[in-house]
Amino acid sequence: MSIYSASTTAPVNIATLKYWGKRDKVLNLPTNSSISVTLSQEDLRTLTTATTSPDFAKDQLWLNGKEESLASERTQHCLQDLRQLRRELEEKDSSLPTFSQWKLHIASENNFPTAAGLASSAAGFAALIKAIAKLYELPQSESELSKIARKGSGSACRSLFGGYVAWEMGKLEDGSDSKAVEIGSLNHWPEMKAAILVVSADKKDTPSTSGMQLTVKTSDLFQERINNVVPKRFEQMKKSILEKDFPTFAELTMKDSNSFHATCLDSYPPIFYLNDTSKKVIKLCHAINEFYNETVVAYTFDAGPNAVLYYLEQSEDKLFAFLYHLFQNVSGWESKFTKEQLSQFNAKFDEIKDDVSFYLD
């Protein structure tokens, strides 16, 4: 029996300018351009193996060891596009095995909570596309593959690149210009770090796909966001990344997270992704920045209660002094502060310390 297999990993990306809203549901075309930072793969990643054989009877997908339906239109769309590209190779070179006609078995594993607002659909579909493209030996560029990943899950198109990534919404109806492009590689601004505060690993009640559809249909605030807020913010954020201007990047990131969650609340019936702990983390970050009189940290929340904090390596001590003190009770960090400073902070945020655990990127 002939059997061929390829494995790959894909990282999570967390948007700093959020994609929320589709102008075309089938092609997954967004109502606004977005920007993200791809996290390093040491912590949050998807590992996917794609296998094909003439003896497989049907396409099958296992996610975290459990068989998942492959019937969804979006996954089918991805498989069709990849098979078409493979077919073109086979037509040019008749010595190639006819993978395009064989069924696929895909096994995927996320090493972090799935469907909890930590971008599992992004890493998941990016890994699916990359694994099959590797198996099929496709020559397409990351941007070309990003258009296929986009059809699986919008945010997935940005996980084809490391570092700082823009998803350009595009103008064309066929989606051929709606793709991810690199703003800067990881090396452009390597000092940027992320800490992930896991408030809840539970599956969210409202999946991103249906949540954003409700927002587009019912929120008035959403129109203001896509017409008057995001286009300007997109240019400003890109500039702040290119200039490595952390205070501006941080402010835009926090404002955009708040703006996105405001449109969720403005949906009808309202969608709540942030919980009380998330709100305390927001207050904590503002308090830390005020405390140092310097922008040390920026928070952002995807469609879930879990926080992603962006900060620069050189500020790590400043941020962690509080995080460790509040969450893990690690001794030694206290010495960096006066007694008054510590008691001021403890009084304000004592209540949240048992509510969160965190990963570091």
> Among 38, 108, 215, 278, which residue interacts with ligand ADP (rule: CB under 6 A)?
108
Radius of gyration of the chain (CA): 21
CB atoms closer than 10 angstroms to residue 285: 22
**Is 51 one of the binding residues for ligand DP6 (CB under 6 A)?**
no
Please name the helix (run of DSSP H) or strand (run of DSSP E) that holds residue 154, with its range, or none: none
Strand partners, 197: 307, 358
Q: Residue 298's closest CA among 255, 338, 264?
A: 255
Stretch that binds ligand ADP, among 118-126, 160-168, 179-187, 321-329 (CB under 6 A): 118-126
Q: How far apart are CA 174 and CA 157, in angstroms?
A: 16
Angle CA(88)–CA(89)–CA(90) in degrees, nearest 5?
90
Site mask for Co ion (CB under 5 A), range 191-230, x = bound: -----------------x----------------------
Three-state DSSP at 287 gives helix
Which among ligand DP6, Co ion, ligand ADP, none contacts residue 124 (Cβ within 5 to 8 A by kind)?
ligand ADP
- Residues composing the chain: 361
**Is 117 one of the binding residues for ligand ADP (CB under 6 A)?**
yes
Contact 182, 58 (CB under 8 A): no
Stretch that binds ligand DP6, among 18-26, 173-181, 280-288, 336-344 (CB under 6 A): 18-26
Interaction residues for ligand ADP, span 160-179 (CB under 6 A): none
Q: Which is nearer to ligand DP6, 264 or 285 (CB)?
A: 264
CB atoms closer than 10 angstroms to residue 217: 11
**Is 110 one of the binding residues for ligand DP6 (CB under 6 A)?**
no
Interaction residues for ligand ADP, span 268-307 (CB under 6 A): 302-304
Site mask for ligand DP6 (CB under 6 A), range 286-315, x = bound: ----------------xx------------
Three-state DSSP at 233 gives helix
Please name the helix (run of DSSP H) or strand (run of DSSP E) that holds residue 10, with its range, or none: strand 4-11
Parallel, antiparallel or unpaired: strands 13-17 and 34-38: antiparallel
Which among ligand ADP, ligand DP6, Co ion, none contacts residue 110 (Cβ within 5 to 8 A by kind)?
ligand ADP
DSSP 203: P
Nearest residue (beta carbon) to ligand ADP: 124
Q: Which is nearer to ligand DP6, 153 or 240 (CB)?
A: 153
Q: Which is nearer to ligand ADP, 156 or 230 (CB)?
A: 156
Say what the alpha-carbon torsion angle 270, 273, 277, 279 is, to the nearest 10 degrees. -70
Q: Which is nearer to ligand DP6, 47 or 214 (CB)?
A: 214
Which among ligand DP6, Co ion, ligand ADP, none contacts residue 115 (Cβ within 5 to 8 A by kind)?
ligand ADP
Binding site for ligand ADP (CB under 6 A): 46, 63, 108, 110, 114-122, 124, 128, 153, 207-208, 302-304
